[in-house]
Amino acid sequence: MAREGRKGGRRGVASRKGGAIDQLPWSQSRLAFPSFEFVSEEQLQKIHDTSIRVLSEAGIRVMSPRAADLFAAAGAIVDRDTMTIRIDESIVNKALETVPSEFSMVARNPQKQISMGGTAINFGLVAGPPNTHDCINGRRAGNHRDYCNFIRLAHHFNAVNIIGNQVVAPMELPSNTRHLDTYLANLTLSDLTFHCTAIGRGRAMDGINMMAISRGIPVAQMAETPGVLTVISVNSPRLLDDAMTDGLIAMAEHSQPVSITPFTLMGAMTPVSLPAAMAQQNAEALFGVVLTQLVNPGTPVLYGAFTSNVDLRSGAPAFGTPENTKANIIAGQLARRYGVPYRTSNANASNCVDLQAAYETMMSTWGATLGGANLIYHAAGWLEGGLTASYEKFILDVEIIQNIKEFLKPIDFSEDELGLDAIKAVPTGGHFFGESHTMERYETAFYRPLLSDWTNYENWQAAGAKDALTRATALWQQALEEYQQPELDPAIAEELEAYVAHRREEIGSNEP
């Protein structure tokens, strides 16, 4: 399990001399406060009871004979005509017995091991946008060059703990082997764990195999400390497709973690009322959790949540809404109830990096944090409801993540920090600037921001009156300049290249 504290990171003290970007060191953030009990135990029970009735009375449709067999063997009622599977509470409870409440993940840098579960909190790079944007070059289709740049940024900033699935899709590369290019970039340009796509068994296995190669271990050993994670999206309402199910099975067989994430926009994929949306999400998530344990008891699994709402005037998806914030917190209460690590997201619906992007992201992030999310996916770079990965939004999000990480830092209540003598030493109406108690803590007392500018108006004007968006543009450029590729054993690099070449040929034009 990762320890609290500094490790594997860099603190660019040079930036105070005008050098490298100043940032927080790498650390495993943990919630230092008790769980936030937003809704009552009784209300949680109502959600739970409703979701069990959804599972036992309506069921979930799963387009996979293998999954149907596993559920049938576990005592589920399987309708082979419609492939609808109904399960009762005892099947859920039995599966929950074998779910690990906390597990670790690591890529090739043991100092960047992360913990999923318990009080741990991790932040992931945005995943999936078809487009990318920065304020210099504008909006464009996803491509391999931008893909690599985002991996460099994720590696450079300690705020990012894990790489999501395809931060931007490299649209110019063949779609059936694109995953190999992105895995290779993840493993050579960074030393972080990542999300490998599980649309079908092949893509999942490539992720598992390549991570094992990069760590210089046999695939079997990946079960001890997983290195890749996948997200299985439920096609809400109540549908799990065959490719997703195959991917889930492949990951579970190799004990690699799976996040079961119903995509539940209230008003579209669920009823408009929040309790109903939570009940449906809960049913779908629990169903996927059960499947992982039927495949391989003990498989690490996350309770995934992505409940937000649509704009009922236009049908457009909305994120970072008050409803989304509540859902993020309640889902955390449910996941804790079941002892399952919890994944949610940080999202917003703005079309540019503006005030809306900032406040919606904050609503989302506070909900996720108060929900005790072990993984906040899409935490850095998400824009346009997920259709664009933005460079400036990435910098904004790193600042927001750092603020949250500092907020989570435990407070020292020792006598020295309570500072009675320090208070008494300064006369009434005086100041504490030169005091020894102050000077001794000068360097580390407060969070030093990445993006915020605290100079006064006159100095800010004199320095060009740059707003935070303008400063963000400068920061991602500087970070790409400062970026240093992590060293990789040439033999391992060669083995990775060979794997990709072999698989590229094998897949050819045969696989979808």
Binding of its own copies at residue 225 (CB under 8 A)?
no
Kindly state whether residue 88 participates in binding its own copies, applying the rule CB under 8 A: no
Compare residues 209 and 402 and give the one whose CB is closer to its own copies.
402
Nearest distance from C-beta of residue 134 to its own copies, angstroms: 15
Q: What is the CA radius of gyration of the chain?
A: 23
Q: Which long-range contacts (CB under 8 A, 24 or more apart) does 448-453 make?
A: 448/22, 449/399, 449/402, 449/403, 450/21, 450/22, 450/23, 450/395, 450/398, 450/399, 450/402, 450/475, 451/395, 451/396, 451/398, 451/399, 451/475, 452/399
**Closer residue to its own copies (CB): 413 or 490:** 413
Nearer to its own copies, 58 or 217 (CB): 58
Q: Is residue 86 a contact partner of residue 77, using CB atoms and an 8 Å limit?
A: yes
Site membership for its own copies, residue 442 (CB under 8 A): yes
Write the secondary structure of 257-307 as one string of H (helix), E (strand) and C (coil). CEEEEECEEECCCECCCHHHHHHHHHHHHHHHHHHHHHHCCCCCEEEECCE
- Residue 473 touching its own copies (CB under 8 A): no
**Binding flag, residue 84, its own copies (CB under 8 A):** yes
Spatial contact of 24 and 32, defined as CB atoms under 8 Å apart = no
According to CB under 8 A, which residues from 481 to 510 bind its own copies? none
Rule CB under 8 A: say whether 47 interacts with its own copies.
Answer: yes
The residues facing 62 across adjacent strands are 240
Residues 258-277 that bind its own copies (CB under 8 A): 266-276
C-beta atoms surrounding 297 within 10 Å: 13
Considering only the stretches 97-105, 178-186, 201-209, 236-244, report the one whose residues sit in contact with its own copies under the rule CB under 8 A. 236-244
The stretch among 55-63, 160-168, 200-208, 292-300 that binds its own copies (CB under 8 A) is: 55-63
* Residue-level length of the chain: 512
Neighbours of 221 (CB within 10 A): 12
Q: How far apart are CA 389 and CA 131, in angstroms?
A: 6
- Using CB under 8 A as the binding rule, the residues of this chain from 105 to 124 that contact its own copies are none
- Which amino acid would we find at residue 253? E
- Of residues 211 and 318, the one with the C-beta less far from its own copies: 318
CA gap 362, 325 in Å, rounded: 9
Residue 354 binds to its own copies (criterion: CB under 8 A): yes
Among 69, 172, 416, 481, binds its own copies (CB under 8 A): 416
| Phi, psi dihedral angles at 114 (to 5 degrees) | -120, 155
C-alpha span between 7 and 492 (Å, rounded): 24
Closest to its own copies by CB, 427 vs 490, is 427
Q: Which of 115, 209, 214, 350 binds its own copies (CB under 8 A)?
A: 350
Is 279 a binding residue for its own copies by CB under 8 A? The answer is yes
| Least distance between its own copies and beta carbon 452 (Å) | 5
- Candidate ranges 117-125, 150-158, 163-171, 435-443; the one touching its own copies (CB under 8 A): 435-443
Task: Residue 231: name the closest of 268, 264, 204 by CA.
Answer: 204
65 binds its own copies, rule: CB under 8 A: no
Q: Residues 46, 140, 201, 504: which binds its own copies (CB under 8 A)?
A: 46
> Which sign does the torsion angle of CA 280, 285, 289, 294 carry?
positive
Which residue in 173, 422, 492, 493 binds its own copies (CB under 8 A)? 422
Over the window 392 to 411, marking each residue x when it contacts its own copies by CB under 8 A and - when it does not, the resulting string is: ----x--xx--xx-xx-x-x
Per CB under 8 A, contacts with its own copies among 136-165 are none
Binders of its own copies among residues 358 to 387 (CB under 8 A) are: 358-363, 366, 370, 384-385, 387
CB of 346 to its own copies, least distance (A): 12
> Is 79 an interacting residue with respect to its own copies (CB under 8 A)?
no
**Site for its own copies contains 41 (CB under 8 A):** no
And the tokens for 27?
């650390």
Nearest CA among 283, 361, 287 for reference residue 328:
361
Q: Does the protein bind its own copies through residue 243 (CB under 8 A)?
A: no
Footprint of its own copies on residues 305-334 (CB under 8 A)? 309-318, 321-323, 325-326
Q: What is the DSSP string of 436-490?
A: HHHHHHTTTSS---SS---S-HHHHHHTT---HHHHHHHHHHHHHHH--PPP--H
Q: How far is the CB of 169 from its own copies (least distance, A)?
A: 16
Residue 54 in contact with its own copies, rule: CB under 8 A: yes
Question: Count residues contacting its own copies (CB under 8 A)?
Answer: 124
Based on CB atoms, which residue is closest to its own copies, 179 or 326? 326
3, 4, 13, 36: residue in contact with its own copies (rule CB under 8 A): 36
Using CB under 8 A as the binding rule, whether residue 215 contacts its own copies is answered as no
Residue 61 contacts its own copies per CB under 8 A: yes
Longest dimension (CA), the chain: 83
Q: Of 173, 219, 243, 468, which one interacts with its own copies (CB under 8 A)?
A: 468
219 vs 463: CA distance, rounded Å = 54
